[in-house]
Structure 1
Amino acid sequence: MSVLIVYEAGSRPSQKANPDYFTGSVWQDPVIQAPAPASLRALKVTFEPGARTNWHTHPFGQTLQVLDGAGFIHVWGQEKLSILPGDVIWIPPDVKHWHGAGPNTCLVHLAMQEEREGRATEWLEPVDEATYAGGIEARR
């Protein structure tokens, strides 16, 4: 008997993201929601141009790996940053932030976070248009 769990390609369909937590069209593909005692959760998230998350936090932080396209990440009180394929971003626990696609490009990223008491994300208010359109800090 195998101890592995194998999810065969195509066995778990893409899902439209909950519009209560996102602006614009966003799709999610499950990667893993590990069984207890593990708490890892990962999704491949595809944002259409202009789409983005609400402001939110994660109790154990979050790691993003940009796979395709171009977009932004914005931490509350800081400048918005551009993100590109190959970038890996660590967001510490309980840091208020949002991320999403640029206005003319899609964004695909892998989002990885751990759950606490069945919750991986604390969803907050939507990102307003002025904040989304605001300035971008130059890439280093």
Structure 2
Amino acid sequence: MQEERMKQELGGGAVFPIGEENRAFAPYFTGECYLNRLTTQGVSIGNVTFAPGTINAYHIHHKGGQILLVTGGRGWYQEEGKPARELHPGDVVNIPPEVKHWHGAARDSWFQHLAVEIPAEGASNEWLEFLAPEEYDKLP
């Protein structure tokens, strides 16, 4: 079963089911991605699973920001104009509002994180362009 294989590759941190294929946001991802909304009450938390080589487009969280809690695999986070940061289980990324960034899986690894949306009045997400493929290819 594919989910069991993914969990094995993600390691012990893959404690939540991967959820359904993330079709609603598919235009903003370069490949296969799954979303399991754990809660939408008070604070929205989603378990996001990226197939190897899948990243999301640059985007901005207006007003509220986001926190990523890495639970499995190996991935990347990058703010525009800064070096990419390699991510591993246990890493925490605090993304302030209005910061243009992308995140996703390393080329050779499944990647999973909990995405915590910081509530704020009038909060929204703005999806932008993708990282240039040649820039992603430079990452180890």
State TM-score, norm by structure 1: 0.78
Q: Which residue of 2 aligns with 1:22?
A: 29
- Give the SS at the match of 1:20: helix
Deviation per CA, 1:19-39, whole angstroms, max 9, x where unpaired?
2111110000011112xxx4x
* Structure 2 unmatched ranges of 5 or more: 1-15
For 1:66 and 1:134, locate their aligned partners in 2 and report how far apart those are by CA, in whole Å. 22
Q: After the TM superposition, which residues 1-140 of structure 1 pair with which residues of structure 2 at under 5 Å, given as runs?
A: 13-17=19-23, 18-34=25-41, 38=42, 40-59=43-62, 60-115=64-119, 120-135=124-139
- Give the SS at the match of 2:108: coil
- Give the SS at the match of 1:52: coil
Amino acid at match of 1:45: V
Amino acid at match of 1:124: L
Greater share of strand residues, 1 or 2?
1
Q: Is the contact between residue 67 and residue 118 of structure 2 (CA under 8 Å) also seen in structure 1?
A: no
* CA spacing shift, 1:116–1:15, aligned 2, 3 Å: farther
Q: Is the contact between residue 28 and residue 57 of structure 2 (CA under 8 Å) also seen in structure 1?
A: yes
Amino acid at match of 1:21: Y
- The structure having more radius of gyration, on CA atoms, is 1
Paired residue total: 122
Q: Is the contact between residue 61 and residue 113 of structure 1 (CA under 8 Å) also seen in structure 2?
A: yes
State TM-score, norm by structure 2: 0.78
Q: Which residue of 2 aligns with 1:4?
A: none
For 1:24 and 1:88, locate their aligned partners in 2 and report how far apart those are by CA, in whole Å. 23
For 1:120 and 1:87, locate their aligned partners in 2 and report how far apart those are by CA, in whole Å. 25
* Structure 1 unmatched ranges of 5 or more: 1-8
Greater share of helix residues, 1 or 2?
2
Deviation at 1:41, TM superposition (A): 1.4
Q: Is the contact between residue 75 and residue 96 of structure 1 (CA under 8 Å) also seen in structure 2?
A: yes
Amino acid at match of 1:44: N
